[in-house]
Amino acid sequence: MRPSQQQRSPGDRAQISYDDRNGDGKVDLEKHQQPGISDADWELRDDDYDGRYEKNILYGYAVTESKVDIAIPAGVKIEKDSNEVRPR
C-alpha cells in the first residue's frame, strides 16, 4: 500500500450515484460527489432519455453547464427502485 497514491487521486473518494428520473428502468442521471469538498460536485444528465448523456453540469462557485455526448453505462445500480414500488 502506497499512501502517496491516495493523496494524488482525489477521485478515489468520489461517490457516484445513478438515478432514473422518468421511471423507465434506465439510468438518466449520474451524480459525482466528493465528500468534504462542496464545490466539486458534478452531474451527467440525459434529459431526452435516449440513452446518452448530453449535459455535464458542474456545481462549483457557479453552475457550469457543458455539452457532452457520452453513452450511459449499462448494468449500473439505480438509487431509486422506481420499478419495484410501481403498482401493477
Which residues sit at the interface with Ca ion, rule CB under 5 A?
A: 20, 22, 24, 26, 28, 46, 48, 50, 52, 54
| Residue with smaller CB distance to Ca ion, 39 or 50 | 50
**Cβ atoms of 29 and 19 closer than 8 Å:** yes
**Nearest approach, Cβ of residue 81 and Ca ion (Å):** 13
CA–CA distance, 62 with 72 (Å, rounded to integer): 26
CA–CA distance, 54 with 70 (Å, rounded to integer): 7
| Residue with smaller CB distance to Ca ion, 32 or 52 | 52
Residue 53, classed as helix, strand or coil, is strand
| Residue with smaller CB distance to Ca ion, 67 or 88 | 67
CA 57 distance to own-chain centroid: 10
**Nearest approach, Cβ of residue 33 and Ca ion (Å):** 20
**Nearest approach, Cβ of residue 62 and Ca ion (Å):** 24
Single-letter residue type at 14? A
